[in-house]
């Protein structure tokens, strides 16, 4: 068993967390490798990039919160290597355990008693009129929004080539089941089971109260276009990362990605227990 480690350098206590995790794993006879930026946090040296780490390790342990997990998933790219989040952040919907549970984590790795849960990802392609196509994948969501302007945007949404709706709103979110607990939830969208073969469209502060979230099956293809009547251009982002202003004639095509994110979950831990804890349910 070899475990690669990626940590958020901006998290307080990251260096201590890295050292503690390495010690706990090696105590159980588990080999560790540090990603190059992570190694620099504790003054170590390595030649592994995030992609190479996934190619050479059985599991990737990610020290941080949900934001660190999202960043790690994008840096690693398509892989079957499971990610195990160790929460030193705040939310932790995607994480496997907390830092004070790393001995339990090491024991389950050694016994291989953990579960690996595949999560649907979305592929988004921005299609420009000059023929350029820029493609990326989303763990949580693709968002088209009005940016910092106070004006609303108008978007035409098509499902499998058929017009769904003309939205006049602050924006529109297309979210995975994983992302249903993130921005989509904050905008009033439904919670989806993480293994649901579906994704959801959620308008952000729509001008019409009749506009509601819509759950689509996994084989649907969504196309979003800024309408001619829009008061401003749309701003495009994936998983809250880089925000790009789109030309008014660009189109965004969204479908299920060809690869999945594999999340490691400890035995006797469930998605629903995480919901109860994080959402403070009774």
* Short-list 195, 149, 201, CA closest to 174: 201
pLDDT the model gives residue 11? 87
Q: What mean pLDDT is predicted for residues 249-256?
A: 97
Using the predicted structure, report yes or no on whether residue 89 has a pLDDT greater than 80.
Answer: no
Q: Tell me the whole-structure pTM to 2 decimals.
A: 0.94
Domains and CATH numbers, the chain: 2-119+260-278 (3.40.50.10330), 122-256 (2.60.200.30)
pLDDT the model gives residue 141? 98
Using the predicted structure, report yes or no on whether residue 229 has a pLDDT greater than 90.
Answer: no
Q: What mean pLDDT is predicted for residues 254-273?
A: 94
pLDDT the model gives residue 208? 87
Of the listed ranges 22-26, 35-39, 229-233, 263-267, the one predicted with least confidence: 229-233
Contact (Cβ atoms closer than 8 angstroms) between residue 177 and residue 120: yes
> What are the residue numbers of the active site?
66
Residue listed under structure tokens 């009005």: 146
Residue listed under structure tokens 């109260």: 209
> How far is 67 from 28, CA to CA, in rounded Å?
29
**Pairwise pLDDT comparison (230 vs 111), residue with the higher score:** 111
pLDDT digits (tens, 9 = 90+) for 62-84: 999 999 999 999 999 999 999 99
> What percent of the chain is modeled with pLDDT above 90?
83
> What percent of the chain is modeled with pLDDT above 70?
99
Q: How confident is the model at residue 235 (pLDDT cuts 50, 70, 90)?
A: very high
> How far is 46 from 14, CA to CA, in rounded Å?
17
- Helices 102-111 and 14-27 meet at what angle, rounded to 10? 40
pLDDT the model gives residue 199? 97
Q: Is the sign of the CA dihedral 40, 42, 44, 46 positive or negative?
A: negative
Q: How confident is the model at residue 277 (pLDDT cuts 50, 70, 90)?
A: confident
> How far is 123 from 112, CA to CA, in rounded Å?
31
pLDDT digits (tens, 9 = 90+) for 107-162: 999 999 999 999 999 999 999 999 999 999 999 999 999 977 778 999 999 999 99
Residue listed under structure tokens 């929004």: 145
Q: Which helix (H) or strand (E) element contains residue 153?
A: strand 153-159
pLDDT digits (tens, 9 = 90+) for 170-196: 999 999 999 999 999 999 999 999 999
Question: 152: which 2 tokens?
Answer: 């609303």
């Amino acid at each position: 068993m070899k475990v690669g480690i990626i940590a958020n350098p901006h998290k307080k206590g990251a260096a201590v967390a890295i050292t503690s995790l390495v010690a706990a794993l090696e105590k159980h006879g588990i080999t560790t490798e540090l990603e190059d930026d992570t190694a620099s946090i504790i003054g170590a040296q390595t030649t592994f990039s995030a992609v190479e780490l996934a190619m050479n390790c059985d599991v990737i342990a990610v020290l941080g919160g949900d934001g660190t997990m999202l960043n790690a998933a994008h840096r690693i790219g398509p892989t079957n290597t499971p990610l195990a989040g160790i929460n030193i952040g705040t939310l932790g919907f995607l994480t496997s355990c907390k830092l004070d549970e790393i001995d339990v984590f090491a024991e389950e790795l050694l016994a291989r008693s953990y579960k690996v849960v595949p999560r649907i990802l979305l592929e988004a392609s921005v299609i420009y009129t000059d023929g350029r196509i820029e493609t990326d994948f989303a763990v949580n969501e693709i968002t088209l929004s009005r940016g910092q302007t106070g004006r609303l945007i108008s978007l035409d949404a098509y499902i499998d080539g058929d017009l769904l709706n003309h939205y006049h709103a602050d924006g529109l979110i297309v979210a995975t089941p994983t992302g249903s607990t993130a921005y989509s939830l904050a905008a009033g969208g439904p919670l989806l089971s993480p293994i649901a073969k579906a994704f959801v469209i959620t308008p952000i502060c729509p001008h019409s109260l009749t506009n509601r979230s819509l759950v689509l099956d996994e084989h649907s293809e969504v196309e979003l276009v800024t309408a001619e009547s829009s008061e401003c251009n749309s701003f495009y982002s994936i998983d809250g990362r880089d925000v790009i202003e789109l030309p008014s004639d660009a189109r965004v095509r969204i479908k299920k990605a060809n690869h999945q994110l594999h999340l490691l979950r400890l035995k006797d831990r469930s998605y629903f227990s995480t919901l109860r804890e994080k959402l403070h349910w009774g």
